[in-house]
Structure 1
Amino acid sequence: MVYMRLLDQLKQQRDFTNNEQRIAAYILANLPAMTTIYLKDLAAATYTSHSAIIRLAQKLGFRGFREFQTALTTAAANEAHALDTVDANFPVAPNDDAQTIAKKMAALTVNTINATYQQLDTGLLQQVAQTLRGARRLFLFAQGDSQMRARSFQNKLVKLNQFAIIAEEYGDEAWNAANLTPNDVAIFISYAGTTRTHQQFVTYLQQQKVPIVVLTGNPDSPLLSAATYPIVTVQSEYNFAKIGTFASQAAFEYVLDTLFSLMYAQDLPTNLRSLQQKQQLMQAGPLTTK
C-alpha cells in the first residue's frame, strides 16, 4: 500500500538506489516540466536509463512511466494551487503581527487537510468505519496531544449511542488491554508510533485476534506490522523540534472526523430520526436543563 503522497515519497527517498535518488531530485527540481517530458529526455537529463525510471515508477506503485507522469502532472497542479508554504514546526517569525500569524495558521491547517486527503485510502476508511460500527466496545490508546483527539472522537461517538473507552486514562491501559476480545476494536493513535507499551499491546492483541486500528504519521512505525487497519498520514512535522503539534493533530482530527461521518452515514435515516428524538427530549422534554 502506498502511504505517502507522491512528492513525499520522492523527497524521503526510502530504499532508493543512487540512480533513483538522482531521478527523484531532478523531478522535484523540475516538477512543472514533468507534465510534458519524454521518457528518453528524463533519462538523458538524469544520466540514467529508461528501465531505471520505469523501475522507480513501479517502486512507487505505478504500472509504468505514463501512469507515473500522470500522477506527477496532478502533483504539479496541486503544488501550483497550494496556499503559501508554512513551516509546520516553526510557523511564526519574530516580526509577525497578529494578522500574519492568523494567515499562516489558516494556511497550515488547510495545507495539512489537503495533504492528508491526498494520502487517504478511502476504501480502507470505509472498512474501518464498518468494523467500528459493528464492534461491541472501542478502546482508544493515545497519549498527550493525541489523547485529546481521542477524546474528541469519543465525544462524537456518543451521538451514535456508541461509547468508547480511553484505555490509558487513570493508568489502566494494561487492564483494558487484558479485557479486549475479538468482538472489540483497539484503536492506537500516535504520530511517531514508537511508544514501547503500545508495541507490547499490539503484539499481544494481534495474538488474541483483536481487530487493531493504527493511526500514525510514521510509515516506519513498528505498530503497523500488527495492525489490521493501518492508517498513515505523513506530515512535515518533527518529533521534538517544534513549537506545537499543529499539523499532526489537524491531520488526526480530520481522519477521525471522516471516520465518524462514515459511521454516521451507514444508516443515515435512522441516525437522523434518533437525533431529532433526542434533541426534543433535551430541548423541550423531560431532559431539558435550561
Structure 2
Amino acid sequence: MLLIDKLKRQDGLTPTDKQIADYILENITSIPSLGIEALSKKTYTSHSAVVRLSKKMGFDGYKQFRLALSETVYKDLHQLGKIDANFPFDSTDTISQISKKMADLSIEAIRKASEQLESQTLDTAASMLVKADKIFLFAQGDSQIRARSFQNKMVKINRFLLIAEEYADQAWNAANLSKSDCAVFITYGAKIPQYDRYIKYFSKEGIPTILLTGNPTSSLLKLADLSIVATQDEYDFLKVGTFSSQVAFEYILDTLFSVIYAKEYEQNLVNLKQKYDLIEKGQLSEFSNLDN
C-alpha cells in the first residue's frame, strides 16, 4: 500500500498517531522541511510519538519516513493534473476535455499501480501459474472482463485458463480443483462472501490461490497464498464507472503475462512463429485448399 494511503486509512493507529498523521496529510508539502522537533511541536506530541508513527508506517525512524514523504510530494508536484477517479468529467466539459481527462486518469491509475507492485510477488505469482496444471479464474462483473483478457493472452502461449463462474458453475469448478491447480481471484473490493468460503476450502485442501485486489483490509488477504494489492482512489459504489480499478487490473495482468512469457522467451517466440505460419499460411489459413 502506498504511504499516503496508509496515513489516510490509519489502520492500527492510536489517537496520538492519528493526530500526527492528520497534520502530515493537511500539510504534506511542508513536511520535507520539518525536522522531528518541529513536527512534534506542531502536533503537540513527543519525539517518541513521531518515531513510533514512522515505524508503524514501515520505516526505521523519522528521517527515513520524511525522505519517503519528500519523494511523494515531488511526484505529486510533477504528475499530470489530478483527476477525480470517481467523477473524472462533468457536464460542462467539452469532448476534447473529457478525452484528455480520461487519458490522464488512465496514466495515473497505471502509475499508482506500478508503484505498488513488487518484483518478487510478481515472480512468485508467475511461477505458481507456470507450475499449475489448470488455472481457474474467479471474477465477476468488470473484473471478469479483465480475466477474459488475461485468458485470451495466455492462450497464445498454450496455457488454457478457465473462467470458474461461467454458466454459474463456480461451486462445481471449486470442487474439482486439485493441489496441482491454481485458483486466481480478481476482485477490487474483495467483499464477495462465496470467495471467503472457496479460499478457506482451497487452503484446507492445499490448493494454491492468488488474490488480485484493491482492498488492503480484506479478510481474503490472510487466506490467499499470494496477494497482489493495488489501491486506487475509487469508491465502492458512488462513481461514474470502474475506470481506475480496471485500468490498473488490466495493467497488472498484462505485466504478469509478460513475466510468464519472459520465463521461456525464446521458446515462446519459436512457438509464435510456428502458429503464425500455420494460421496465416498453412492448413488453418482461410486461403488454404484443404482438399489437396
Task: Place the TM-score, normalised by the shorter chain, in its bin.
Answer: over 0.9
For 1:64, the aligned partner's letter is G
Give the one of 205, 209, 213 matched to 1:208: 205
Query: Which position in structure 1 is the counterpart of 2:165?
Result: 168
Partner SS, residue 228 of structure 2: strand
Identity %: 46
Which residue of the partner structure matches residue 192 of structure 2?
A: 195
Number of aligned residue pairs: 287
Equivalent positions of 1:129-144 (< 5 A) are 129-144=126-141
1:120 — aligned with what?
117
Post-superposition shift, 1:251?
0.9
In the alignment, what sits opposite 1:156? 153
Equivalence map 1:51-70=2 (5 Å): 51-70=48-67
Counterpart of 1:88 (choices 81, 85, 88) is 85
Query: Which deviates more from structure 2 when the two are superposed, residues 21-30 or residues 128-137?
Result: 21-30
TM-score, normalising length: structure 2: 0.96
Asked if 1:73 is matched to 2:70, the reply is yes
| Residues in 1 aligned to 2:286 and 2:189: alpha-carbon distance in whole angstroms | 42
**Matches of 2:192 and 2:39 in 1, distance apart?**
42
Code of the aligned partner of 1:258: T
> Aligned AA for 2:261?
Y
Structure 2 residue aligned with 1:99:
96
Gap runs ≥5 in structure 1: none
1:14 equivalent in structure 2: 11
Tell me which moved more, 23-32 or 137-146.
23-32
Distance in 2, Cα, partners of 1:235 & 1:78: 16
Q: Say which one has the larger Rg.
A: 2
Partner in structure 1 of residue 30 of structure 2: 33
Q: Distance in 1 between matches of 2:161 and 2:210?
A: 14
CA shift for structure 1 position 99: 0.5
SS in 1 for 2:244: helix
Alignment partner, residue 43 of structure 2:
46
Deviation, structure 1 residue 15 = 2.2
Unmatched runs of 5 consecutive residues or more in structure 2: 288-292
* From 220, 223, 228, the counterpart of 1:226: 223
SS at match of 2:196: helix
Q: Matched residues in 2 for 1:123 and 1:34: separation?
A: 31
SS of the residue corresponding to residue 139 of structure 1 reads: strand
Match of 2:262 in 1: 265
**How far is 1:30 from its partner?**
2.4
Q: Partners in 1 of 2:266 and 2:219 — Cα distance? A: 40
Tell me the secondary structure at the aligned position of residue 151 of structure 2. Answer: helix
TM-score by length of 1: 0.96
Give 1:20 shift: 1.4
